[in-house]
Amino acid sequence: MNQALKGFIAQQELAEKRWLETLPALESARAGRLMPAEQVFAWLRSCNAAEELPKPNQE
């Protein structure tokens, strides 16, 4: 039982940490600081390639 409770608490702490990391991104999107999805996907596809694209800039 004690092990299960510790596992549950660890999961809740991780969920809280992820939520707190998401808040600035949501605020940025609300403020209109976005990147076109196609630019992001093209950059991701190029990762670890011989000719990696530069990271996209916010519009």
Q: Mean pLDDT, 10 residues at a time, over the chain (59 residues)?
A: 93 97 94 91 92 82
Question: What pLDDT does 55 receive?
Answer: 87
For residue 45, count CB atoms less than 10 angstroms from its CB and return exposed for 0-12, middle for 13-18, buried for 19 or more.
Answer: exposed
Question: What pLDDT does 45 receive?
Answer: 93
Question: What pLDDT does 57 receive?
Answer: 79
pTM of the predicted structure, to 2 decimals: 0.55
Amino acid, single-letter form, for residue 28? S
- The dihedral formed by the CA atoms of 27, 32, 37 and 43, expressed in degrees to the nearest 10: -80
The token pair at 24 is: 């600035």
Question: What pLDDT does 1 receive?
Answer: 76
